[in-house]
Amino acid sequence: MRTGVETAFPLVDYLERERVRIEEARGRLLDALAGDAPAAVRDPIAYALEAGGKRLRPILCVAAYAAVRRGPGDVPDAVYELACALELIHTYSLVHDDLPCMDDDDLRRGRPTTHRVFGVEAAVVAGAAFIPLAGRVVVHAGERLGLGPDGRMRLVRELCAAAGGGGMVGGQLLDIEAEGRTVDLQELEAIHARKTGALLAAAPRMGGIAAGAPEEVVEGLGLYGRRLGLAFQIADDVLDVVGNPEALGKTTGRDQVLAKATYPSLLGLDGARRRAREEADAAVAALRAVGIESAALEALAHYAVERDR
Amino acid sequence: MRTGVETAFPLVDYLERERVRIEEARGRLLDALAGDAPAAVRDPIAYALEAGGKRLRPILCVAAYAAVRRGPGDVPDAVYELACALELIHTYSLVHDDLPCMDDDDLRRGRPTTHRVFGVEAAVVAGAAFIPLAGRVVVHAGERLGLGPDGRMRLVRELCAAAGGGGMVGGQLLDIEAEGRTVDLQELEAIHARKTGALLAAAPRMGGIAAGAPEEVVEGLGLYGRRLGLAFQIADDVLDVVGNPEALGKTTGRDQVLAKATYPSLLGLDGARRRAREEADAAVAALRAVGIESAALEALAHYAVERDR
């Protein structure tokens, strides 16, 4: 299943270029927020969003848009703004995850967590403000892209479904419920499919919808995202065992200390690695099955598995 | 400004009848959620929503719909579902407010608070799930009402604006920021206008939009909601001083203990009462200015001030 594409594709340059445009879009969204919300809202939101990270969800959204459009034209700014809506949802989940009543983390990506800077109350409240903000961003970006109200409606629906109880939050609650008891592979996958998979599937789906892709292609993009999401999660589990804490920017071995069910604990290290590669290959196959050939999306699928951080 | 309408209108029967239909709509929403989200999501959401309360926001939404339609026909079920979206937003804010890191309340309306039953982690996470759920409810209800995608889009926009950083959450954060320092009347009103006013204004606006009201009427309904919201808040402050704890179902005198700026502390008890009545009258005047004559909406404005709980 490995093709020449992944080695030929200049992934590092690509990621860097895309991140620049994503950060620009983030800046525009925060400027727009400034006209509407008091500083008490803007400051914690801006702070949490600044923390950076891989920006994987927005990148997947933009790459899917470009893959469907295929034309030589540049990807419009509004697609990057749409893509940021996914990062807003992801970021609020991190702000809440870090709270003292949750994982109780003082640092995220080397900076004090949002509640350490703005207080716990503000972090709880502002965390929830990311969600309607994401809704507004989707509506507005869809408008700027010239999508009809039906297309914008679909984007809103995708976002709500991925963020909500059937998606990310459902996975978080299943995960909380599973704490302290034995979890088998099936249950672990059901948790991941919602907790990280729903948003990682929504990202390329929303890029496809914004580009006017037919339903079948949107489905293919969603399957790609789900498979990539699982590959990414398995790779995370593997890195927690064998990764370099410095490269990762976080302590490793945490899963074992917490006695958490992980892919390496259930499949062994080699079994987990094999499974991650299979998922990445299946992600690429899902794209090709609907006629999408995208060096960027394919490289991203393999990157999910082969990264060292 | 007092008219015969408010005494002639059978408010108690009206509220009871409306609440029955709102609870039915809540049941339908939870049934629909059951097809999609795991029990770990549904249970805390259902529990928090069951707690009851005045259901003021949904009632305002339905009453505005009926006032714009005016015809003899019954209000469709889907309007009650749309109205429940506002209660979803209100309810999540209460779930988060009660958290140990916020107001740390063990009881709400005589029942253990959501985090006391499901744990703090689940209450934080599930709290945030109400927001995308509300988004989906609005989209779906708008569809069932036969609104075009443009109308549904407007409803989504209203909901996001009212819930977000420019609305309710903005007010919550301003309120947190103001803790422990002196607040004047202007700042107090700016906090209330967002914290409770934004959602109470969105409720009749969304009812009006669902009924196809012209923009000018939607604006009038929003102004009515804002004025009513302020009247309601002032009355709350007054009840905290003179109310009967048994009728209220909560301890009184809390504001004074917390040295919180309130209308009675800034205007005196009589001044606060007068101001509340002025706001209720202004709410009614805002309706009439755009040609809306609704015994229900007018009675609700006076109820906001004259209730004993």
The per-residue pLDDT for range B20-58, each reduced to its tens digit, is 999 999 999 999 888 888 999 999 999 999 987 899 999
Q: Which of residues 215-254 of A touch B (CB under 8 A)?
A: none
The alpha carbon dihedral of A193, A198, A202, A203 has a sign of: negative
Q: Residue A71 CA to chain centroid, in angstroms?
A: 26
Please answer whether residues B107 and A132 qualify as being in contact, where contact means their C-beta atoms are separated by less than 8 angstroms: no
CB pair distance less than 8 Å for B40 and A176: yes
CA distance A34 to A30: 6
Which of B68, B100, B80, B201 shows the shortest CA–CA distance to B141?
B80
Kindly provide the ipTM of the predicted complex, given to two decimals. Answer: 0.90
Domains of chain A: 4-306 (1.10.600.10)
Q: Which of residues 97-136 of A touch B (CB under 8 A)?
A: 99-102, 119-122, 124-129, 131-133, 135-136
Amino acid at B300: L
Residue of chain A minimizing CA distance to B30? A165
Is B36 an 8 Å CB contact of chain A? yes
Residues 6+ apart with CB under 8 A from A127: A92, A95, A96, A114, B128
Kind and range of the H or E element at A169? helix A168-178
CA distance B257 to B251: 11
Report chain B's C-alpha Rg in angstroms: 19
Is A29 an 8 Å CB contact of chain B? no
pLDDT at B303: 95
Is A165 an 8 Å CB contact of chain B? yes
CB pair distance less than 8 Å for A176 and B131: no
Please answer whether residues A249 and A110 qualify as being in contact, where contact means their C-beta atoms are separated by less than 8 angstroms: yes
Single pTM value for the model: 0.92
End-to-end CA distance of chain B: 24
pLDDT higher at A34 or A111? A111
CB pair distance less than 8 Å for B136 and A170: no
CB pair distance less than 8 Å for A132 and B136: no
pLDDT of B5 strictly over 70 = no
Amino acid at B75: V
pLDDT in tens, A240-274: 898 777 777 677 777 776 677 899 999 999 999 99
Give the pLDDT band of residue B309 (cuts 50, 70, 90). Answer: confident
pLDDT of A3 strictly over 50 = no
Q: Among the residues of A70-119, which ranges form H helices?
A: 77-97, 114-118
CA distance B47 to chain A (A): 15
Which whole-number Å values give the CA distances from A170 to A58, A97, A180, A214, in the listed order? 22, 14, 18, 28
The average confidence (pLDDT) of chain B is 92
Neighbours of B247 (CB within 10 A): 11
Which residue among A128, A136, A157 sits closest to B127, beta carbon to beta carbon?
Answer: A128
Q: CA neighbours within 13 Å on the CB side: how many for A64?
A: 38
Residue to substitute from B94, B136, B155, B174, interface A, most A β-carbons within 10 A:
B136
Dihedral-angle region of residue B142 (phi above 0 means left; psi in -120 to 50 means alpha; beta otherwise): alpha
Pairs across A and B, CB distance < 8 A:
182
Which whole-number Å values give the CA distances from B208 to A120, B5, B90, B289, in the listed order? 38, 21, 20, 15
pLDDT in tens, B105-132: 999 988 999 999 999 999 999 999 999 9
Average of per-residue pLDDT across A136-153 = 93
pLDDT at B7: 55
Residue of chain B minimizing CA distance to A45? B165
Give the pLDDT band of residue B260 (cuts 50, 70, 90). Answer: confident
> Which residues in A lie closer than 8 A to residue B100 (C-beta atoms)?
101
pLDDT of A7 strictly over 80 = no
pLDDT in tens, B182-216: 899 999 999 999 999 999 999 999 999 999 999 99
CA distance A133 to A247: 33
pLDDT at A5: 46
Residue of chain B minimizing CA distance to A42? B165
Please answer whether residues A136 and A88 qualify as being in contact, where contact means their C-beta atoms are separated by less than 8 angstroms: no
End-to-end CA distance of chain A: 24
